[in-house]
Structure 1
Amino acid sequence: MFATPYALAALLPFDDPGISSNTSGLPGLAQLREIVGALLTFGLVACVAALVVSSVVWGFGSNSGNPHLAGRGKTGVVVAAGAALLIGAANAIVTFFSNTGSLV
């Protein structure tokens, strides 16, 4: 009843052009990888700083009886943790979608 992606791809009238990613054809690719790696590191360090600041805000808000400040601190903790999760998983996410896209 349901067709697999391979069966659907076989029904398409297009042929595979035979083009794949080339890791050595672009000058400066090694430097670009270093820059992106540095951006990943910078992003993770910023997430740690945001997590610390948000935790402090949450603590001050809770101890001073200020629910708005405590709520903003909680939100900051969740956002910083989510951002760190996405930054850490960036390679896996891009690889997954690249591999999935190549099946279409």
Structure 2
Amino acid sequence: MASLRLVPSRVYPDLGAVADASELRRVVGALLTYGLLTSMLMLIVCAAAWAIASSRGNWHAADKAKTGLVVSLAGAVLVGGALAWANWLIGIGNQFQ
């Protein structure tokens, strides 16, 4: 039976092939910044709604605000992580050029 030999290949992103790669980085960075700002603002709004609803005794609204707080926090973590991950990948791609 023939043996299968795996040869490691060198596949790296070629950011020079994309026209205006610097413009692409700016657009992606701006979109991630807007996403982070939106999730942080929603975090503040949901925290305030949770505090007000709890103090008024409206437990259903407090529960919904608590859920919104967790979702906005998860969104902020994901957007912040996506930005850090994209920068890390771009840095690795630039090492091999």
TM-score of the two chains, using structure 2 as the length reference: 0.74
Identify, as 1 or 2, the structure richer in helix.
2
2:35 to 22, 25, 43: 43
- In the other structure, the counterpart of 1:3 is none
C-alpha distance in structure 2 between counterparts of 1:48 and 1:26, whole Å? 32
Structure 2 unaligned regions, length at least 5: 93-97
Q: 1:12 to 1:87 in 2, by over 3 A?
A: farther
- Report the aligned-residue RMSD: 2.4
TM-score, normalised to structure 1, is: 0.70
User: How far is 1:91 from its partner?
Assistant: 3.8
1:1-104 matches, within 5 Å, as: 13=5, 15-16=7-8, 18-93=10-85, 95=88
* Percent identity for Structure 1 against Structure 2: 33
The answer to which structure, 1 or 2, has the higher relative contact order (CA under 8 A, 6+ apart) is 2
How many aligned positions are there? 87
CA distance in 1, matches of 2:74, 2:42: 11
Structure 1 ranges of 4+ moved more than 3 A: 11-19, 91-96
Residues 42-88 of structure 1 show CA distances to partners (whole Å, capped at 9, x for unaligned) of 01110111011101210121011111100011111111111111111
